[in-house]
Structure 1
């Protein structure tokens, strides 16, 4: 495999791999095993073979932050635990990003985006965010039907949710005009209303079918990064991929991105020379068969490599 050169906003070929072994934002155990499985599969070595200097922070002590009691507050489950973990990770991510390193965060459930976006945008305040997911994750605490924080991070990060006592540290750091989605196909009615009312760039699988993935990526960048001069943060939930491609994830939804469509997104963003951070989220090795887990972990690693410039030619 060849690599494309990287990156206009980074100081060198340094990648900080941040483990986020955390499952508190949703009810299914096992997603906290995702980061270690990706690393055991050889992700760090693969990046080093691509010419990167790689540091790895496993954060395998996150359970120590779990409170003795963590009652539901304003409809959200485990708010203390989620807040403590994501605040800790946000500081770590910010530090690496401010040193000019590419930050690759391995989840963990998507509540970890409270940390990744907070940390990356603290270092790159004019950045834009491309969210690849079957779900919009922009429910407010009042609107969420499940109470799971992994369905709410973007409402806090954009300022649509304010006033929750446990998440007062989360700043509304993301302008809605710098947020775009690809791959949506399981969206709550409240989220649909929010996306429409705020004119957020949101492309569902219908749009991918209609226009193709190449045009979809260009349309998103035209909206959130029109001059191609802003840093880009990619947050990729593997449930954006069809379950035949990435079966070992907690909320699979049929009709998702193909293997190539998912990889094209990462390749195209790497080609811009603007990508400064990527999240690979919701790999759950406790779900499905050993073969399914292998397939999902393999895809997670290859997506990460593409973010850092691996190309087919």
Structure 2
């Protein structure tokens, strides 16, 4: 059995520690249910297994965050084709701060969600911490059936769970702080340091973007071979 004692992480000063942030949020898309994911994983022993089987010292505040206190109580109309933009922006910003606070200490951070819009917060917080700790850009390996690189104007659905990579790479941006304007350059990832693994359902416009920017991508067909 592989344990953390056998692994010598090059860039983590606290390689035996695992920060965990649980996010019960589904606002990046329209189907309820994914918000229950973190509680179910914890209830069924995920954190215990990570500690007992892999040897990690777990740093978790014992909460599943819904961020109800930052979600606007007033109407949240569409903006640039995005659904619930203020709510998703506020939640991912709060998550970014939490992930950053863990990552800046030199430990690995695991985010439990939640729909995939939360990736905006988890990646942004990690990227900022890496720049400050190591003085370098973060590389991003995106293991997913979907590219999630739609810009708001490209999206057919307007659901932000299909847009996180666009905001994280600067392909999508907004000057309004309440509409992801808080995602600054030090929180972003270069398209040259992005690679996809496992793609099988990519929108036509996303394929064009990936080709135009020369993004490395390995589909399920590549993996099956």
Q: Within the alignment, does 1:55 sit opposite 2:72 as a pair?
A: no
1:138 maps to: 149
How many angstroms apart in 2 are the aligned matches of 1:164 and 1:208?
39
Aligned partners of 2:124 and 2:168 also within 8 Å: yes
When residues 93 and 185 of structure 1 are mapped into structure 2, their CA distance, relative to the original with a 3 A threshold, is: same
Matches within 5 A, 1:37-52: 37-49=40-52, 50-52=54-56
What stretches of structure 1 of length at least 5 have no aligned partner? 211-313
Aligned partners of 1:18 and 1:105 also within 8 Å: yes
Q: Within the alignment, does 1:152 sit opposite 2:163 as a pair?
A: yes
Aligned partners of 2:51 and 2:58 also within 8 Å: yes
The count of residues paired between Structure 1 and Structure 2 equals 210
Deviations 1:116-154 (A, max 9, x none): 110000011322110011110000010000000000011
Residues 198-207 or 165-174, more deviating: 165-174
- Secondary structure in structure 1 of the residue aligned to 2:172: coil
Aligned-CA RMSD value:
1.3
1:223 maps to: none
How many angstroms apart in 1 are the aligned matches of 2:138 and 2:213?
19
Matches within 5 A, 1:118-129: 118-125=124-131, 126-129=137-140
How does the TM-score come out when normalised to structure 2? 0.89
How does the TM-score come out when normalised to structure 1? 0.65
- Select the structure with the greater relative contact order (CA < 8 A; seq sep ≥ 6): 1
Deviations 1:266-292 (A, max 9, x none): xxxxxxxxxxxxxxxxxxxxxxxxxxx
How many angstroms apart in 2 are the aligned matches of 1:44 and 1:205?
30
1:170 maps to: 183
Aligned partners of 1:180 and 1:200 also within 8 Å: yes
When residues 164 and 32 of structure 1 are mapped into structure 2, their CA distance, relative to the original with a 3 A threshold, is: farther
1:7 maps to: 9
Aligned partners of 1:156 and 1:171 also within 8 Å: no
